[in-house]
Chain A
Amino acid sequence: AQSVTQLDSQVPVFEEAPVELRCNYSSSVSVYLFWYVQYPNQGLQLLLKYLSGSTLVESINGFEAEFNKSQTSFHLRKPSVHISDTAEYFCAVSLNTGFQKLVFGTGTRLLVSP
């Protein structure tokens, strides 16, 4: 079965600094990969996804993630964060065959301070 590891439970950064949120997965077969963001007391919103093709995927608000098959990673990056990026970020994986469930990591809380 597949699994997802987000080693950092909390990442504090200053506004306009770069940030990387780490995600590693375990699977013996090909997967789809997702990053979700959750603002306080809200549901999860899809931030970006890797399905196939280019290993670098981008979101509309400046985040990007790179699929690295050899390292089984899908780290999330942003070159310059804003206060409004403060939220919980979840990495998720599913197998790419038929009906599959999403397996989520435990989440990383990004805290952006002025």
Chain B
Amino acid sequence: SQTIHQWPATLVQPVGSPLSLECTVEGTSNPNLYWYRQAAGRGLQLLFYSVGIGQISSEVPQNLSASRPQDRQFILSSKKLLLSDSGFYLCAWATEKGYNEQFFGPGTRLTVL
């Protein structure tokens, strides 16, 4: 069966520090991968998606970036965090072919102070 992992689970970082969040998927190949952010009391905002290694599409211009160095690895990064980057970050995957049914990881709670 397929599983999706995210780490760290929680993170507290000062403003201006770098960020690296990792997401890995097991049990499937060539998944479509997604990064979402969920701000307090709000819905999900799609940040990035990827249909293959090295292929990244950005949905919202911001100081975050994403990379996909391996088929089942998706990384969210920032060189300098802002207070507004605080939130709950969710990674998700979907089969390459199918109904775009997405499966979510457990999330990372990021607090920028």
Contact = CB atoms under 8 A, between A and B. Distances in A.
B107 A49 contact: no
B105 A49 contact: no
A99 B107 contact: no
A41 B44 contact: no
Interface of A: 32, 34, 36, 41-46, 49, 51, 90, 94, 96, 99-102, 104-107
Chain B contact residues, majority secondary structure: strand
Interface of B: 6, 32, 34, 42-44, 46, 49, 51, 88, 90, 92, 99-107, 109
28 contacts: A32-B99, A32-B101, A36-B104, A41-B88, A41-B107, A41-B109, A42-B106, A43-B90, A43-B104, A44-B90, A44-B104, A45-B104, A46-B101, A46-B102, A46-B103, A49-B101, A94-B99, A99-B32, A99-B51, A99-B100, A100-B100, A101-B46, A101-B49, A102-B102, A105-B43, A106-B42, A106-B43, A107-B42
Chain A contact residues, majority secondary structure: loop
